[in-house]
Amino acid sequence: MAVDLRSFLNVLLEENELLAIKDAIKPQYEVTAVLSKVLAEQGGPAVLFENVIGFPGQKIVGNLLASRRKLALALGCDTAGLRDAYLDKRFKTLEPEMVSGNVPCQEVVYTENLDLPALLPAPIFHAGDAGPYLTAGVLMARDPVSGVLNTGIHRLQLKGKNRLGVFLASPPLSDYFKRAEQDGKALPVAVALGLHPAELVAAAVTIKKDLKSKVDLAGAMAGRPVPLAPATSVDLSIPALAEIILEGEILPGVREEEGPFGESTGYYFQAQSPVIEVRAVTCRREPILSVIMPWGMETEVILSAFSGAELWQELNRLIPEVLEVAFLPGALTFQGVIKVAPKLSNREIRRLIHLALNLDRRLKHVVVVDEDIDIHNPREVLWALATRFQGTKDLVCLPGLEGYSIDPSVKNGETAKIGFDATTSPDGPGSPRYRRLMFTEEAALRAEEILQRRKQ
Ligand SMILES: Cc1cc2nc3c(=O)[nH]c(=O)nc-3n(C[C@H](O)[C@H](O)[C@H](O)COP(=O)(O)O)c2cc1C
């Protein structure tokens, strides 16, 4: 298994999942236009930009986890095994290890006269964005009360030579900052860019009582404790194998306009956000800056891979007939699908819908389907909705719940959540009314044989 971003890029190259671009390219608008086009037309290989105008020697990589296959390659499992690989590691966390000697991410250290826009090829993503952004930065800080080190992915706007706007809406880091600020103190932070994919995706997991630190989870998922080293200018440990580290602190009592920025919803979003004052930048020689396209497959893969696993586990513990959970592509984990075994009554399905919509903060619409539906195929899910759902009796609507801040349809913090019972209950999927079209076994085999021969 890969140990860091560079060795993961070698894995992707061997697996024909890496597209290297040698053409000269501007970080302003062009990098992201290429990433978006590659995603749409080629199904999402990672893209390495080797010739970034204005930044000789530096590279940018994007679309790194823009498919479940690449995430599986990073975690050393196959796509179908992602859920169980994650749930297995979830409870076998590995504490990080402090390393001594050479620290790769501190090969080059900048502390004087910092100039972030000149140091980093941070892209401007979309027309209408307020400026250059870092989207794959893993923000790290210690809980001011317990001292636990934790992480989160948070968008960062380059706002000047040593200032970053940080959108801080998710725990645990939003809570850590609140605690520091209540005491009138700054929160020491680091931003790690260019990490092993396990360290990146672990940062997007929701912290729960049984999970102390996402750094320990990242170690388990990468198959080795996360190697940490002391930061150079703040009292914090940083991932030694990162490509780039920004060190600094979030200033107490400061809020500034941050954005507009084209968000993961597909719309622009701006906020009054806290500010990080950067004290030092350290990096490898010829560093690789990783970026995540906010709207598209990569954000969805990262958000859904493990929240789907957790939701399945929680629901399955309460209702064993829950077989599988997935999220509909293009809907940011706002729209989920749950596959259930037969025998659940409509009343039990209503209970399931209530549980799912309350357990998952982002989930806004949930469709429950029978076990004959392939829930990874949106066409099948839409077919179930079209033919097995009646709005007068199969709809559950829960108004007035807490909404997700970046959803533009949420007003005054409130959202309505909706569940669709698109099962065939009480008839059952095998009943005469719901008999699926099929071919004779012989014809199906014969078709397979003919088409196989054409491929050879
Ligand atoms: C690509 C990506 C970008 C994200 N950007 C932000 C962000 O800018 N601000 C934020 O508060 N959370 C952001 N998040 C969410 C957090 O990193 C992470 O999911 C959170 O710490 C987990 O808590 P939650 O699931 O309870 O929100 C992002 C997640 C992903 C996958």
Q: Is 153 in the pocket of ligand 1 (CB under 6 A)?
A: yes
Q: What is the CATH number of domain 5-297?
A: 2.30.110.10
Nearest-CA neighbor of 295 among 26, 12, 18, 39? 39
Average of pLDDT values for 111-140? 98
pTM of the prediction?
Answer: 0.94
- What would the DSSP string read from start to end of 167-187? ---STTHHHHHHHHHHTT--E
DSSP, collapsed to helix, strand or coil, labels residue 22 as: coil
Residue 389 CA to ligand 1 center (angstroms) comes to 34
Closest residue by Cα to atom 24, ligand 1, is 206
Distance of CA 249 to the CA centre of its chain: 24
Alpha carbons 181 and 363: distance in angstroms, whole number: 31
Alpha carbons 391 and 443: distance in angstroms, whole number: 38
Q: Which of 153, 193, 195, 206 to mutate to test the pocket of ligand 1 (most atoms within 8 A of CB)?
A: 153
pLDDT band at 454 (very low <50, low <70, confident <90, very high): confident
What sign has the CA pseudo-torsion 163, 168, 173, 174? Answer: positive
- Residue-wise pLDDT for 273-285, tens only, equals 999 999 999 999 9
| Mean pLDDT across the chain | 95
- Adjacent-strand bridge partners of 108: 283
Residue 199 CA to ligand 1 center (angstroms) comes to 14
- Residue-wise pLDDT for 204-226, tens only, equals 999 888 889 999 999 999 999 99
- Residue-wise pLDDT for 304-345, tens only, equals 888 999 999 999 999 999 999 999 988 889 999 999 999 899
Q: Is 303 in the pocket of ligand 1 (CB under 6 A)?
A: yes
Instruction: Indicate whether 246 pLDDT > 90.
Output: yes
Residue 353 CA to ligand 1 center (angstroms) comes to 24
- Residue-wise pLDDT for 57-114, tens only, equals 999 999 999 999 999 999 999 998 999 999 999 889 999 999 989 999 999 999 999 9
CA distances from 27 to 16, 31, 121, 133 (A): 25, 5, 6, 10
Judge if 5-297 and 319-434 fold alike in CATH terms. no
Specify the pLDDT at position 432.
Answer: 95
Q: Give the atom of ligand 1 at the shortest distance from the alpha carbon of 168.
A: 11
Specify the pLDDT at position 455.
Answer: 75
Whether the CB-CB separation of 292 and 63 falls below 8 Å is answered with: no
Q: Is 142 in the pocket of ligand 1 (CB under 6 A)?
A: no
- What would the DSSP string read from start to end of 212-277? --HHHHHHHHHTSPPEEEE-SSSS-EEETT-SEEEEEEEPTT--EEEEEEE-TTSSEEEEEE-EEE
Instruction: Indicate whether 44 pLDDT > 80.
Output: no
Residue 362 CA to ligand 1 center (angstroms) comes to 11
Residue 388 CA to ligand 1 center (angstroms) comes to 35
CATH architecture of 319-434: 3-Layer(aba) Sandwich (3.40)
Alpha carbons 47 and 60: distance in angstroms, whole number: 8
Share of the chain above pLDDT 70, in %: 100
Specify the pLDDT at position 132.
Answer: 98
Q: Is 154 in the pocket of ligand 1 (CB under 6 A)?
A: yes
Residue 206 CA to ligand 1 center (angstroms) comes to 9
- Among 15-29, 31-45, 349-363, 406-420, where is mean pLDDT lowest? 31-45
Q: Is 337 in the pocket of ligand 1 (CB under 6 A)?
A: no
Specify the pLDDT at position 61.
Answer: 98
- Which phi and psi (to 5°) does residue 167 adopt? -85, 110
Specify the pLDDT at position 193.
Answer: 98
- Which phi and psi (to 5°) does residue 104 adopt? -50, -40
* CB neighbour class for 332 (10 Å; exposed up to 12, middle 13-18, buried from 19): buried
Q: Where are the domains of the chain?
A: 5-297, 319-434
CA angle centred on 299, ends 419 and 226, rounded to 5°:
120
Specify the pLDDT at position 331.
Answer: 87
- Adjacent-strand bridge partners of 297: none
Alpha carbons 364 and 252: distance in angstroms, whole number: 34
